[in-house]
Amino acid sequence: MTFVISDPSVVVNNEPVGIVPGTVKFTEGLGEQMMRAQSTGNGNVDQIFSQDVTTNVSMVSFELYNDIDSIELARVWKTNLNANVITVTGTDPTSGKTITRTFSKAALLSDYEVELGSESTFTVDFKSLPAV
């Protein structure tokens, strides 16, 4: 039996980060591929396969509560440009198996929006080198 990862840990620049549960998501950064058909005559086709290396970029995203510490952390990450390192780790408590992904040269490219209110959160979306 396996167990769904529902409480991953997030570490940014060697500092553990408190996140809104259930909001962590990432892409591996393995990019997108394309496949086209080419005619080989007499109704036969072959395929042309290619890797779009311009899409070999990871994304890691999570939500933060809008407390002062989280708002200030996001500001630091934004001003770090692409010098952030993020590690996401999840553990299956029944087997002890762990999955870890590290995102190097991570940057907050968009201007994140902080909503203020008693039930509010805000999302930070990083782009980075492909996850390792």
Contact residues for 107 (Cβ-Cβ < 8 A; gap 6+): 80, 81, 82, 84, 126, 127, 128
DSSP 118: T
- Asked, for residue 26, whether it belongs to a domain, the answer is yes
- Asked, for residue 3, whether it belongs to a domain, the answer is no
- Asked, for residue 43, whether it belongs to a domain, the answer is yes
The predicted-structure confidence for 83-124, as pLDDT tens digits, reads as follows 999 999 999 988 899 999 999 999 999 999 999 999 999 999
DSSP 55: G
CB atoms within 10 A of CB 69: 11
Q: Note the pTM of the prediction, 2 decimals.
A: 0.91
pLDDT of residue 2: 76
Range of the domain at 44: 9-128
The predicted-structure confidence for 31-51, as pLDDT tens digits, reads as follows 999 999 999 999 999 999 999
pLDDT of residue 1: 72
- Asked, for residue 1, whether it belongs to a domain, the answer is no
- Asked, for residue 80, whether it belongs to a domain, the answer is yes
pLDDT of residue 128: 98
Count how many domains the chain has: 1
